[in-house]
């Protein structure tokens, strides 16, 4: 069954209008609902009024917009690094970072469940790419021992939070292993920034992520040393040859980061909501705001999604090739504003489906 884009309007943070019906969405990555926060929206509006809707050209052509300078300083401080570089999206970030740091003489080792943009970056680099089994440190070490000596440089790349399973990479252990074998570690924290206490990890040399999920805006970033950022600004093609991020997106991101740092209890809510759900279903505690419910076959996952939609929930089915054959699933994303009573109702419906 082919995929299709379905017209859907987001309203009020957790609600979606689809085919004339108001649905409670558990399929959105706006984990803190900040895309709808009055302060974030006002910051974006003020930026448009002052600076206009677009950036006009590449930052190396038009100059570095003061909002982007401020956002990069804000991100570097938040992540505990010397500097940062903002890209047009998370996909553009990895598609530019990885080829800027590696080339044909080099080795890239990627977790087999890493996001598609990491894999694309490896392909664009033209380096030797090896996939290691998901979160399997022994397999990664085996590959490093076997192949590292044959290459000029090496890069280990992984998601920090895996987008389809919601589990976490063992970043401290990965960083130690990479250091032992003279390799860089790149961790894509798209689904961790803002909502997980362990997201700031100084052992990770290349801290990459997006502004489009918990931050509630748009864009991608790399936080790293000043020398690395200088190199990226000169060699990452998706930075050099792309129009800069619109002022509204930068201003919204700065406002969102201010809110996250000012209210850590609120930032902790998505994980707490996810853990309420996993407890209700007797599953292991959620590690992130993402909880997969494995159905198995694609048609079964689609049927479960349709049933939930009839009951007022938007829970999208994820199926191959996005996930492996036989692991089609409901991917459930929890946000700070999801009512506990509705989480309980959702859990009861899914439990009934699984034991039918």
Predicted confidence pLDDT, tens digits, the chain (356 residues): 677 788 888 887 899 999 888 999 999 999 999 999 999 999 999 999 999 999 999 999 988 899 999 999 999 999 999 999 999 999 999 999 999 999 999 999 999 999 999 999 999 999 999 999 999 999 999 999 999 999 999 999 999 999 999 999 999 999 999 999 999 999 999 999 999 976 567 789 999 999 999 999 999 999 999 999 999 999 999 999 999 999 999 999 999 999 999 999 999 999 999 999 999 999 999 999 999 999 999 999 999 999 999 999 999 999 999 999 999 999 999 999 999 999 999 999 999 888 76
pLDDT of the residue at 242 = 95
Q: Does domain 8-30+268-354 have CATH number 3.90.1150.10?
A: yes
Contacting residues for 301 by C-beta, under 8 A, at least 6 apart: 295, 317, 318, 319, 328, 329, 330
Q: Which DSSP letter does residue 243 get?
A: B
Q: Which residues pair with 125 in a beta bridge?
A: none
How far is the C-alpha of 19 from the C-alpha of 42, rounded, in Å? 30
DSSP string, 126-182: TSEEEEE-TT-HHHHHHHHHHHGGGSS-EEEEEESB-TTT--B--HHHHHHHHHHTT
DSSP string, 22-58: EEEES----TT-GGG-HHHHHHHHHHHHHH-S---SB
Structure tokens at 219: 């864009």
What does each C-alpha distance from 206 to 100, 182, 193, 312, 338 come to in angstroms?
13, 14, 14, 41, 33
pLDDT of the residue at 199 = 59
Angle 281-285-288 from CA coordinates, rounded to 5°: 115
pLDDT of the residue at 12 = 78
Of the CA atoms within 13 Å of residue 104, those in its CB half-sphere come to 0
Query: Does a cis peptide bond (omega within 30 degrees of 0) precede residue 321?
Result: yes
Given a contact cutoff of 8 angstroms between Cβ atoms, the answer to whether 250 and 65 are in contact is yes
What would be the CATH architecture of the domain defined by 38-262? 3-Layer(aba) Sandwich (3.40)
How far is the C-alpha of 232 from the C-alpha of 239, rounded, in Å? 8
For the chain, the structural domain boundaries read 8-30+268-354, 38-262
pLDDT of the residue at 1 = 63
pLDDT of the residue at 231 = 98
Residue 228 C-alpha from the chain's centroid: 21
Full 3-state SS string of 269-329: HHHHHHHHHHHHCCCCCCCCCEEEEEEECHHHHHHHHHHHHHCCEECCEECCCCCCCCCEE
């Amino acid at each position: 069954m082919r995929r299709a884009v379905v017209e859907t309007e987001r309203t009020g943070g957790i609600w979606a209008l689809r085919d004339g019906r108001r649905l409670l969405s558990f399929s959105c990555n706006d984990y803190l609902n900040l895309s709808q926060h009055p302060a974030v929206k006002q910051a974006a509006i003020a930026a448009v009024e002052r600076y206009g809707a677009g950036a006009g050209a590449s930052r190396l052509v038009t100059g570095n917009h003061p909002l982007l300078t401020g956002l990069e300083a804000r991100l570097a401080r938040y992540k505990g690094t010397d500097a940062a570089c903002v890209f047009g999206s998370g996909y553009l970030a990895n598609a530019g970072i990885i080829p800027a740091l590696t080339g044909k003489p080099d080795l890239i080792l990627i977790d087999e469940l890493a996001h598609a943009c990491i894999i694309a970056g490896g392909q664009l680099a033209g380096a030797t790419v090896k996939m290691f089994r998901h979160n399997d440190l022994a397999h990664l070490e085996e590959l490093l021992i076997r192949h590292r000596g044959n290459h000029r440089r090496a890069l280990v790349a992984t998601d920090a939070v895996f987008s389809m399973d919601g589990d976490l990479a063992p970043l401290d252990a990965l960083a130690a292993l990479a250091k032992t074998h003279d390799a860089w570690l790149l961790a894509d924290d798209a689904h961790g920034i803002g909502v997980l206490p362990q997201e700031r990890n100084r052992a990770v040399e290349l801290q990459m992520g997006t502004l489009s999920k918990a931050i509630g805006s748009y864009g991608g970033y790399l936080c790293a040393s000043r020398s690395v950022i200088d190199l990226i600004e000169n060699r990452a093609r998706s930075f050099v040859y792309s129009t800069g991020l619109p002022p509204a997106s930068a201003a919204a991101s700065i406002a969102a980061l201010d809110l996250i740092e000012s209210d850590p209890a609120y930032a902790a809510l998505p994980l707490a909501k996810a853990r309420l759900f996993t407890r209700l279903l007797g599953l292991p505690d959620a590690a992130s705001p993402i909880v997969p419910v494995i159905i198995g076959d694609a048609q079964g996952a689609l049927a479960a999604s349709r049933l939930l939609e009839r009951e007022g929930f938007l829970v999208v089915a994820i199926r191959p090739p996005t996930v492996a054959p036989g692991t089609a699933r409901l991917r459930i994303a929890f946000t700070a504003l999801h009512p506990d009573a509705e989480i309980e109702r959702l859990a009861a419906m899914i439990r009934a489906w699984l034991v039918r």
